[in-house]
Amino acid sequence: MAATFQLELVAADRMVWSGEAVMVITRTIEGEIGVLANHSPLLGVLAPGTVEIRPEDGAPMYAAVNGGFISVAMNRISIPAERAELADDIDLSEARRELEEAQQDDDTERSKQAVAAAEARIAAVEKAS
């Protein structure tokens, strides 16, 4: 049996997922990172993208995040994100519509963030399929 750690994925308005996991993979602004049990302490800034959760029991789960942090300390991982959704809760057609709308907006920082958020939602659903 693989070693586990406590993981919490939290959106600004709710707890998205909490439980024992054997691995989490996500993207920070410095690159992709995979974390196993007993990892050394870490604090990173999340880039918009997906979080792969490998729970103690069951198949991998995917979530879309739009910024936030990852904190690793004493076999506990906390991922507070501005926006976080499990792939099973994402409407793929709605996410594709949001992407199209965001791509048609002016080339502002806000529109780039909207594109990244929509792409993260789509990627999470596709990885979960």
Q: Is the domain of 120 the same as that of 60?
A: no
Neighbours of 11 (CB within 10 A): 19
Q: What is this structure's pTM?
A: 0.90
**102 and 67 Cβ atoms separated by less than 8 Å:** no
Q: Is the domain of 14 the same as that of 49?
A: yes
Average pLDDT over residues 95-113: 86
Q: Is the domain of 82 the same as that of 118?
A: no
| pLDDT band (50, 70, 90) for residue 112 | confident
Residue with tokens 């792939």: 87
Q: Is the domain of 28 the same as that of 69?
A: yes
Q: Domain of 101?
A: 91-128
Q: Is the domain of 21 the same as that of 81?
A: yes
User: What is the overall mean pLDDT for the chain?
Assistant: 93
Q: What is the reported pLDDT for 104?
A: 87
**Which is more confidently placed, 70 or 103?**
70
Q: Is the domain of 27 the same as that of 79?
A: yes
Instruction: Measure the CA dihedral 65/69/44/4, to 10°.
Output: -80
42-70 confidence digits (pLDDT tens): 999 999 999 999 999 889 999 999 989 99
19-43 confidence digits (pLDDT tens): 999 999 999 999 999 999 999 999 9
Tally of structural domains, the chain: 2
- Which structure tokens are listed for 93? 């057609």
Residue with tokens 């907006």: 105
